[in-house]
Structures are given as C-alpha cells and as structure tokens.
Structure 1
Amino acid sequence: MSINEVILSASGACKLINSLHSYCFSSRQNKSQVCCLREQVEKKNGELKTLRQRVSRSDSQVRKLQEKLDELSRVSFPYLSSLLPFSREPPTMNPMVEPLSWMLGTWLSDPPGSGTFPTLQPFQYLEEVYISHVGQPVLNFSFNAFHPDTRKPMHRECGFIRLKPDTNKVTFVSAQNTGIVEVEEGKVNGQELSITSHSIARISFAKEPHVEQITRKFRLNSEGKLEQTVSMATITQPMTQHLHITYKKVTP
C-alpha cells in the first residue's frame, strides 16, 4: 500500500471509531459486528504506525543529505559553490571603488528607454542592470535589454569598471552580444561618470556600418534614479545620441 493510500485509509479511522461508538450503544447491532469494527480500527492503527515509521525514516534521510551538503560546502571545489545555497556574508567593499558606490545595485528601466539613430527606426526597450562587487578593486556589471512588448532579449553586454589608484580616472571594459568588445575611459565627478571609447574590437563578420566611437554618461539624478545616455559614431554617421534610459533601483 502506498503512503497516499495509507493516509486516505487512516483518515477513515475516525469515521470507523464513531461508527463503533454508535454500534456499541445500539441494541440492534450484535456483538460480531462490533468485533468486526474493532478489528478494522486496529488495522487502521497499524497502518498509521507504519506511516509514522516511514516518515521518521524520510526525516532521517533528509538530515543525512543536509549534513553531506554542509560538508561539501566547506570544501573548495571549482563550480561547486554555484550548486549550493549562498550563505556567506557579503564581501567588504574595496575602498578603491567607493567613488562609484552610487552605481551599485539592481536597476530596472523606468520608464522604457528610447533609441534612435539616423540609420535606424526609433525604438523603445526595457533593461535590467546589475552592478556589483566581490571585494576586489573593480565593479562587475551586466546590461540586459528586452523588447517592451514581447519581452524577447535584445542587446546584452557585461564587463568591469576599474579606477586608476589615487585618481578619478575610470576604465569601462565591455563585451557585447553584437560581437563588439570595447574599452572606454573617462572620469567620475561626484555622482556622474563620463567615458569615451579608447579602443573597439569586433568579430570579422560584425554587422555594418561599423561603430567607430562610443561615449556614455551615467548620472544619479535628484530622484535617486540612474540615468544613462549613449552616443556613437559609425563609419557613415558622425557622433549622435543613440540611447537614453532611466533606471530605478530595486535592490541595493
């Protein structure tokens, strides 16, 4: 009998007990019927006992598995940490990235961003931005854009932001799903970061016209929202604003 069947059968034990009580006080029921009901109740009690034993064994197995997971979490195997619950304390921020701490967090577009360029039709997009640190003198970032109606993935990029020691000079290193890898450099002043492409590399079959230069400006506005403005120049078009988007912070 399965556990579900036992549970269903056990749930009827109370009904049988009530029936037994009724039979015991009814002059129309004979002794053999009462004995039969008593036997059924005893059978149900036995099934309940078996069920409790099964549950107890399952609890024991769960505890043993948890002990093994705890033991594995203390061993530093490559990639193992991604399979286990994250329980460590957040790393302490490196003082080197303090000037960019206002960028940290998870940000969502609010409202949708807008894009335009002489060779493109105007468009809108949603975007999620995740900027974090792991205690190193560098910030990690990812930008993931989505179509506002279909939610299909669009532009995606990820990389790192570094500061030159004892200066406000910033380097922004980015790899994009369009086949472009770029290094941008600039300066952070208060809660504003302005950077311009220093070098751009691309795959051999990147879509034309090729991007020749990119500039970005990040700023934290008076409402506590993060703004990004991107301009670019291609081999056929001069430097022109391409993207503008505002994000609201959803997690620190």
Structure 2
Amino acid sequence: MRQFHVLSTLFFGGFWVYLGLTTWIQMITSSNISVFEKSLEVYLAQAYPLLLPFIVSQSQIQGGIVGALITLGGIIGCMVLPSLSDKLNRRKPFMVVSMLTIAPLIYMTGTSSGTTAATAAFTLGFFLLARLPISFQMAMETREIGPKLAGLAVGGLYTFGNLGGAVGPLVMEFFEESSAPYALSQLYYWQCYIATVSQAWWLSMVPTAPLAFPGSFVTATIVTVIVGVATFIATLLLKEAHAEAQKTAD
C-alpha cells in the first residue's frame, strides 16, 4: 500500500495548490499590480467617483480570467497528457515532468499580474490537473489495489485531495501580508475616514473609499511552492506498476 500512500500525498498537495490559488487568485493578481497602477486607481476613484465601480470590476475581471485559465489549461491537459501516457504505456515520466514544472509556475502565478500571470496560470493548470487521470490509472494498476478495490482507492484519493483543498486556502490566508499597493489603498481609506469624521460637510464631498485590496501573497506563494516541491519528491518515490506488469507479461 506504499504506492497508494504516495498517491494520496500527491492528491493532498495537488488540491492544495489548485483550490488555494483559485480561491485567492483575484486578491493575488490585485495585490501584485505596481504602485503606479494603484496610485492611478486611487486618483481616478478620488477625482471621478463614478469610475469606482468600473475600477473594482476590472480587478475582479482580471482575477476571474486568470482563475478560469487554470481550469481551462487543466481541461486541455487532461485530454493531452493521459492519452500520450496510454500510447507510450508509461506513467511515471509524465508525472515527473508535470511536477517539475509546477513549482516555478506556482511562483510565477502568485507573484505576477496581467499577461504573465495569465500565461503561467494556463500552463500550471495544464500540468497540474493532467496528473489526476494518470494518478487514477496508476492506482488501479497497483497490485494491492487492482480492479476490485479501484472504487475504494479513488474515494480515498479524493478524500485526501479534498483535505488538502480545505487546508490550502486557510494556510494561504494566514500568510497574507501587507504590500505597497495595499498600504496605499489603506492610506486613502483612512484619509477619507478622518475627513468625514472631523468635518460633516466632507460627507458630501469626499467619495466613497475604494475597496481595500488585499496584501501581498508572496509568503503564501512560497509556502505553496514548498508543497509543490514536496509532491514532486513524492512523485519520485512512485513505482511504475504498469511498466513492471508489461515486463512480467513479456
């Protein structure tokens, strides 16, 4: 059952990365914009209050697109890599290659914005989610599991995966920290707050403070990268049962 335990570790780390990033991706992309862009947003919100909904919606749209690209890349990856794995009758090489790319892509997705974040997110999803069908096949090809215990094994893998998906977002929130764009947004908020409290007539003159964008997720990203590296190490411990079975049959 050692093979199953390793696969469970992979699912725990994989769901951690996927659900952690998709949960916080909007806040991550917002916190990674430059101080100049944030200053421009604050100025526009203060000078033209009617633009505030548009400014906030643009941030939400960008985060939504990056999050959707992770899933889209995963859908395409699930169609491409498992089919190649079946044609070549190999499992572990595809798992190792996918895991090698995940750690740097997690860092790029968690520390960038715009086109860079979108490209990294799509590629991350392509390799991250493509591991799932290959992992299921490896579990069924394990001698201790086989077809009779396949359903129980898949259920167990999903259990460990969902556990990682529950823990990941909480850990990322715990490591959230302040950043320059976030501090600038907070400064504007307090400027508006002090003005409205000290003089009542400011209530009709000072625009509503923009939504406080989140702090930096760099530390949270590094923690998630460590999870990706740990799952890669676990991948190296996997035994390619399918290849061994083929050799035995020959």
More strand by share: 1
> Relative contact order: is structure 1 or structure 2 higher (C-alpha 8 Å, sep ≥ 6)?
2
TM-score (norm 2): 0.21
More helix by share: 2
TM-score (norm 1): 0.21
